[in-house]
Amino acid sequence: MAGNLFIVTAPSGAGKTSLVRAALEADATVSLSISYTTRAMRPGEEDGVHYHFVDEDRFLRMLEDGDFLESAEVHGARYGTSHSQVRSILASGRDLILEIDWQGAAQVRGLYPGAIGVFILPPSIEELERRLHMRAQDSEAVIARRVAAAREEISHVGEFDYVIINDRFETAIHDLLAIMRAQRLRGEKQRRQHQELLRKFIA
């Protein structure tokens, strides 16, 4: 039985990466798709762990060869999700998280209409800006662009199945795990997974 495909989206600074990392630590049955990107590696990041870091030429070759399930340009850098990796993990029965932007989410839903979309919101634009400053990874100009882009990104929140307000981290991670667990307990999925048990009851 194929695994569940979860799409987790948020504006930069909303805490998406921290929430996904905590979910992976709390639930060993779910995997994370490692995206390809042309952006520069940040301090503490590792190639093949946080992203597959590639140059522009290689990314464009992969795009032309149809290697990406989805791709987008965000804040001047390109991002893409390996289609073969997604197919392989889902076919194995494992659940998979795609940590992608709203543009990529729309592309994925076209190919995987059963994907579950989760949008992470900050409690306010002011708090989002404060978190971006606290990260100390970007210049003032970059932060200003990210805050402006966040308004556009948030306008797509209605396209997602679930919305989590990341005000208190402990509550937000509990909400994300609850969504994942609820999806696994849906009637159709449980009926397929436990056909033999149900036959015994019916017989």
Q: Which two tokens stand for residue 136?
A: 């100390």
Per-domain residue ranges of the chain:
5-202
For residue 121, give the 3-state DSSP assignment.
Answer: strand
**pLDDT value of residue 203:** 67
**130 strand-pairing partners:** none
Position 200 pLDDT exceeds 70: yes
* Ranges of H-type helices in the chain: 16-26, 56-64, 83-91, 102-111, 125-135, 140-154, 169-184, 187-193, 195-202
Spatial strand order of the sheet with 30-32 comes to 30-32, 95-99, 5-9, 116-121, 162-165
Position 71 pLDDT exceeds 80: yes
Position 97 pLDDT exceeds 90: yes
Position 143 pLDDT exceeds 90: no
- Percent of the chain past pLDDT 90, that is, above it, reads 65
Best-predicted range by mean pLDDT (41-50, 139-148, 160-169): 160-169
Q: Please state the pTM of the whole predicted model.
A: 0.85
Average pLDDT over residues 52-70: 95
For residue 163, give the 3-state DSSP assignment.
Answer: strand
CATH number for the domain whose boundaries are 5-202: 3.40.50.300
Helix axes 125-135, 140-154, angle to 10 degrees: 140
Which of 148-162, 166-180, 183-197 has the weakest average pLDDT? 183-197
Spatial strand order of the sheet with 68-74 comes to 52-53, 36-37, 77-82, 68-74
Confidence band of 158 (pLDDT split at 50, 70, 90): very high
- For the chain, the average pLDDT equals 91
